[in-house]
Amino acid sequence: MTHLRQLMLDELQRRNYSPNTVRSYVHAVEDFARYFRRPPEQLGPDHVRDYQVHLFRDRKLSPRTIEGRTAALRFLFVKTLRRSYLPDAIPFPKQHKRLPTVLSQEEVARLIDSTGNLMHRAMVMTLYATGVRRAELCRLKVADIDSGRMVLHIRQGKGGRDRDVPLSPRLLEILREYWRWMKPKTYLFPGMENNWRADVPVTTKVAWTAVTEAAKAAGITKRVSPHTLRHSFATHLLEAGADLRTIQLLLGHAKLADTTVYLHLSRRHLQAVASPLESLTVSTPSEMKHSRRRVKG
């Protein structure tokens, strides 16, 4: 381990960054140095901008991914190497705001019915019934299921925040059936080590596969991922009458502004205000001439 790597790890841990963030930041710095074939401490903002162009043009990475890489490099230069760069010296890429994909309730039912096995079915139902993130799902423990209070404990979610989400009776039923079959010990969804089932959390790739394969089998043409079920959970709650503050707490959003995107997805809110066209008095289509010939003046 290089001296700089250890300095960065110490700085990340001193600020109590999550293990996932630590791994992604270290990986970003390693990839940055590998691209220029020079130690990171010999590089600077001009190299960061060239690297961003490479990630966009050659690697075809998304703006969100490049934003994460840029955050890691800012941390390296400003927090670890203590260089007094202004924020504009290492700019974040502009992101285009797109509304997330949401499934209808009928599509969610088809998705669940198309899962390939009991474990995948339990994972998909948990994602939709609770709105948890994919990484949170994979870290769930058997002890996190509180059937007495009918809640599911989410430990150290994004930002290191704990929260409780409701445990629906239907989800509890499938989880009990799954537990009797799998007999998990510590982690609710155990993973593999050396091709053998082990008491370790399953990888996030398994959750991704469970959802995408079920979507393909269900004939759903939308682009579906585990996060699509999180968006669907929030949107369907909003359509059923839940308020934004409650949904914010259930999703574990730090800011209410992150939750307001679902106002743009909820049919109930979209249909609450009539279009101004409805208040106009205009002739009916049957009164219009259907000829495309222009009238001479």
3-state SS assignment for residue 149: coil
Q: What is the mean pLDDT of the chain?
A: 89
Which is it for the CA torsion 238, 242, 245, 250, positive or negative?
negative
pLDDT band for position 257 (50/70/90)? confident
**pLDDT, tens digit, for every residue of 104-143?**
999 999 999 999 999 999 999 999 999 999 999 999 999 9
Portions of the chain given CATH number 1.10.150.130:
3-89
| Block residue for tokens 């949107």 | 235
Class of domain 3-89: mainly alpha
Six-digit token pair at 271?
Answer: 């249909």
Listed in sequence order, the DSSP H helices in the chain are: 3-14, 19-36, 45-57, 63-74, 105-113, 118-130, 134-138, 169-182, 204-218, 226-239, 244-251, 267-270
Listed in sequence order, the DSSP H helices in 15-155 are: 19-36, 45-57, 63-74, 105-113, 118-130, 134-138
d(CA 32, CA 71): 12
Portions of the chain given CATH number 1.10.443.10:
105-270
- Run of H or E residues at 201: strand 196-201
- C-alpha 241: how far from chain center: 23
- β-sheet bridge partners, residue 153: 164
Q: pTM of this prediction?
A: 0.74
Q: What is the mean pLDDT of residues 182-196?
A: 94
d(CA 131, CA 144): 15
Does the structure show a pLDDT above 70 at 34? Answer: yes
Instruction: Report DSSP state, residue 158.
Output: G
- Name the CA radius of gyration of the chain, rounded: 25
Residue 105 CB contacts under 8 Å (≥ 6 apart), including other chains: 236
Closest among 142, 221, 130 to 176, alpha carbons compared? 142
How would CATH label the architecture of 105-270?
Orthogonal Bundle (1.10)
**pLDDT, tens digit, for every residue of 132-182?**
999 999 999 999 999 999 999 999 887 778 999 999 999 999 999 999 999
Which residues are known catalytic residues? 133, 158, 227, 230, 253, 262
Closest among 101, 104, 183, 170 to 142, alpha carbons compared? 183
Burial of 157 (0-12, 13-18, 19+ CB in 10 A): middle
Share of the chain above pLDDT 90, in %: 68
- Bigger pLDDT: 289 or 204? 204
- β-sheet bridge partners, residue 165: 152
d(CA 112, CA 200): 25
